[in-house]
Amino acid sequence: MAKEILFGAVPAVLIFMMFLGINIGPFLLFGAVLAGILFFFSRQTGMGGFKTRSKAGKHAVVKTDVQFSDIGGQERAKRELKEALDFLIHKDSLEKYGIRPIKGVLLTGPPGTGKTLMAKAAANYTNSAFVAASGSQFVEMYVGVGAQRVRDLFREVKQLAERNGQDSGIIFIDEIDVIGGKRDGQQQREYDQTLNQLLTEMDGITTSDNPRILLIAATNRKDMLDSALLRPGRFDRHISVDLPDKKARIQILKIHTANKPLASDVNVERIAQETFGFSGAQLESVANEAAIYAMREGAEKITGQHFELAVDKVMMGEKSDREASDEEKRRVALHELGHAIVSERVRPGSVSQVTLSPRGQALGYVRQNPMEDRYLYTKEALEKQIMVCLGGAVAEEIYFGGRSTGSKNDFEQALSMAQEIVQSGMSELGIVHLQYIDKTQVHEEVNRILEDLVERTRKLLQAHDEVFAGSLRILWDQEVLSGDSFRDMLKKIQPVEELAV
């Protein structure tokens, strides 16, 4: 009501002043400047720039439903985190052994591996007040705003714990590399003030605090963090949350398929084997996409075929509507068959299916089935994988007389693995350091390795004309060739002893 009276009174006064012959120009100018200043400050307050309370308060979570049992795999990471959390629960043990409290836990690892889930499970495990924020929320162009938000964040969790009658509080900062990056020492940046305030708040955490505070942060770029943040007394415990191994992938898939109607042909262990390198988030997406495919078809249960389509979608992207010419389709089919034949010969049982239909950026692809998770590679293993990469281009050379741009990514992978052979001291150059050896020598050695493997790959593929012809007919008609059907064709041709790798 007051606003309406003000908006009506001001014009009336100005008109009355004009009637009296008073120059109202200065008053109008003053009013415009005042209105602009008020508008500017109101905008900043709306953005959280000058509020005494930070955005962090909007992210307070009284209780989370996530349990550690809901997180598949990561047994080592969960065990280390639980130990740090036990210090919040068993305060007497700290005093008995003279242990100072763990102030911070840093979770590092690739995106989608469950770092945020572990932080939420931690709050539930300890019955702590839980406040979450992202590193980007502390970044402002105005000096001091980020530091104020850090102070507000710590005050927020303490107030929340006191209101709920809880003895401890957990602060979770995701993407901490945004505010915790290395300081260059050249100039005082807003980021530096925010980081300094965070360090000060962490130094203020003591055993006698009530409620006791634990800071959990997550990043996938630990190498970018400032050393002052990483030292003992700040982030005391660094926990690596890695991509899940096969056993963990099975656990994750079982968790995400527990509420789904699965057909009898769904083999969770096989799906886990085919998804090497997938994160927990990707595995959840596979289970979800498989259910969506089943719903589209109106099927009562989710079948193994739905999971195969889901794995392809998560790995390669959605199917494309691009129409290729017959010649291009034939080239793509032979290219993929080249990969598949070499893969099956050097690693029997490794091909899950060969597909001609475009998906994502690929016009066709071979889905391989790693027989086991591998983290160390011998020279022989790397050479076999290089031959698989070269198989597509060599097949094009055999049947079309030349290569195409479709081999670019294959060559990049082959070059990378050939360089790995050289850098690991497994080439004819012996043990080398790239800084102390002529780049021409490295290039010549990599080129020699690749040329040798190209010839071995060519000899291997030239003995499989019958498989190329039979597989091409199936791909042309059905666009998909299963790994079992493909292996049946290969059984009819016994590889020459001298071609075996």
Catalytic residues: 336
Q: Is the dihedral of CA 126, 81, 110, 260 positive or negative?
A: negative
**Within 10 Å of residue 482's Cβ, how many Cβ atoms?**
15
Helix axes of 280-297 and 246-257: crossing angle, nearest 10 degrees: 40
Name which of 356, 353, 349, 384 is nearest 367 in CA terms: 353
Q: What stretches of 320-407 adopt beta strand conformation (E)?
A: 351-355, 365-368
Residues 6+ apart with CB under 8 A from 53: 152, 156
- The answer to whether the CB of 335 falls within 8 A of the CB of 395 is yes
In order, the DSSP letters of 276-331 are TT--HHHHHHHHHHHHHHHHHHT-SSB-HHHHHHHHHHHHH-SBP-PPPPHHHHHH
Give the gyration radius of the chain's Cα atoms: 31
Give 171's strand partners: 131, 215
Cis omega (within 30 of 0) for bond into 211: yes
**165 φ, ψ to 5°?**
65, 35
Q: How many CA atoms lie within 13 A of 414 on its CB side?
A: 27
